Amino acid sequence: MANVAVIGAQWGDEGKGKVVDWLASRADVVVRFQGGHNAGHTLVVGNETYKLSLLPSGLVRGKLGVIGNGVVVDPEALLAEIARVQAQGLTVTPERLRIAENAVLILPLHPAIDKAREEARGDGKIGTTGRGIGPAYEDKVARRAIRVADLAEPETLSHKLDELLLHHNTLLKGYGKPPFEKQALLDGLLTLAPRILPFAEPVWERLDELRRHGKRILFEGAQAVMLDVDHGTYPFVTSSNTVAATAASGAGVGPGTVGFVLGIAKAYTTRVGSGPFPTELHDATGQLLGDRGHEFGVVTGRRRRCGWFDAALVRQAVKVAGIQGIALTKLDILDGLPELKICTGYRINGLLHRHLPAAPAAQAAAVPEYEVMEGWSGSSHGARSWADLPAQAVKYVRRIEELVEAPITLLSTSPERDDTIMVRDPFEG
C-alpha cells in the first residue's frame, strides 16, 4: 500500500477538504506539511460542517493528526480552532494531535508587520490574508524564529525575543506603527506554553515508526501549486513551497515515503486575491459559477474570482509538482451551461505559449487560447459512477485528462463525501 500526498493543482480552494476527508477514512494518520492558518478546508460530515485552518482534516474521522515542521503555527489560532471543533463534538487531545517540536510559531508581531506592509503597498498589494504567515517564514529563513520547543525554555524565549524585536520594531516604526513590548510577548508565550507543549514531539520519529509498521500516511497540503513561492505566479503567491516534494521536508520523512501524488483541480478555475488569472470571467457566466459554487474563501470570506478551466496551468502544475493523478471537483457546477471553454495555451505578444511564463509582464499580457466544447443539459450532481454522468460531461472530463497529461483518479460531483467516483485507488499506488 502506498502513502498519498494531496496538493492543490490550481490557485487553492479546489475542494481538498472533501477529498482529504474521503481518503482519511482509509488512512491511519493525516499530516499537514506546510502553510499556516491562512489555509482553509471545509468538511461536510452528515449535518455538521467543519471549517479547519491548522488542524489536519483526518481528526474529523478520528485519525491521528500531525502538524509537521513545515507549518507555521499561530498558537492562539490553533487553540481557538481546537475549542471550536470540540464544541462541535470532536475530541482533540495530545493522543489525537501531535505538533512538530521544530515548527515555527507565529507571534502577534507577525500579522502586524504583514498588515502594515500590505497597507503600504497600496494599489500594488499582493492579497495576503494578513495573518503573519510570510513574516513568520522570513524569520525561519533568517534563523531568528521562535519554535515550539523553545516554549519549554524561558531563557531561550527571552534571548530570541530581543533579536526579533530589534528587527520587527525597527520595521514597524518605519511604517509608522506602534512597536511591541518584550515583556508582554514573553508573558503571553509563557502562558501559552503549558497548553501547547503537551502536543509537541519529534514527529519525524513517530512517522518513521508508523511507516515501518506499514501504516497508511496521508500528507495534506495547503494552498496550491500555482501559489508555490518558487513555481507559482510570483509575487502573488504564498510564502512556502506547496509542491508534493515539500511533504518530505515539511514532515521529516524521506522522499520515498511520500508515495502517490494526487492533485486536486476544480472543473473550472478560481482564485482569491490579486494576481494574474488569464481565464477569469467578468461576465454573467463568471457570476453564475461563483454563485453556484459558493465561491467564498473559507478563511477570509472574500469572494473568489471565477473563470474557465485552464488546462495549460494545470498541466504545468502536473509537471513541476509530480502529480500522478487528478481529483476533479465541482463538475456539477457546470450542469446546464450550453458551451464550455478550456484554455489550452496563451497568446503573448503574438506568440503562443503552452505554459504561463515566470515574468510578471508576460503573465499580465497572457491571452487564453480556448477550445470550445458543447455543454450538457442533464445533471451530474451526486453521480457515483460514470454511467450516472451525461455523455457530454464524460467527454469534458476525458478531454481535460488529455490536455493536462494526467489521468482523472477521482471525480467529485457534490460536497457530500460519498458523491465521488473513484477511477483508481490512490492508496494502491
Which residue numbers are catalytic?
Answer: 13, 41
For residue 237, the Cα-to-chain-centroid distance in whole angstroms is 12
| CA distance linking residue 149 with residue 160, whole number of Å | 13
Neighbours of 133 (CB within 10 A): 27
Q: How far apart are CA 227 and CA 264, in angstroms?
A: 14
- Residue 146 CA to residue 165 CA, distance in Å, equals 12
Closest Cα partner for 310 from 10, 7, 8? 10
- Contacts for 376 with CB less than 8 Å, ≥ 6 apart: 334, 335, 336, 390, 391, 392, 393, 396
* Nearest residue to 21 (alpha-carbon basis) of 223, 298, 218, 242: 218
247 vs 5: CA distance, rounded Å: 7
Calpha distance 204→35 (Å, rounded):
18
Coil, helix or strand for 304?
A: coil
Do the Cβ atoms of 233 and 274 come closer than 8 Å? Answer: no
Q: CA-to-CA distance for 363 and 365, rounded, in angstroms?
A: 5
Q: Are 369 and 360 in contact (CB under 8 A)?
A: no
Q: At 26, list the grid cell.
A: 482509509
Residues 341 and 262: their CA atoms lie apart, in Å, by 24
d(CA 3, CA 6): 10
Rounded Cα gap, residues 359 and 367, in angstroms: 15
Phi-psi sector, 353: left (phi>0), alpha (psi -120 to 50), beta = beta
Per-residue CA distances from 224 to 34, 44, 61, 220, 248 (Å): 11, 21, 24, 11, 16
Burial class (CB in 10 A: 0-12, 13-18, 19+), 293: buried
What burial class does residue 192 get, using C-beta atoms within 10 Å of its C-beta: 0-12 exposed, 13-18 middle, 19+ buried?
middle
The DSSP output letter for 147 is B
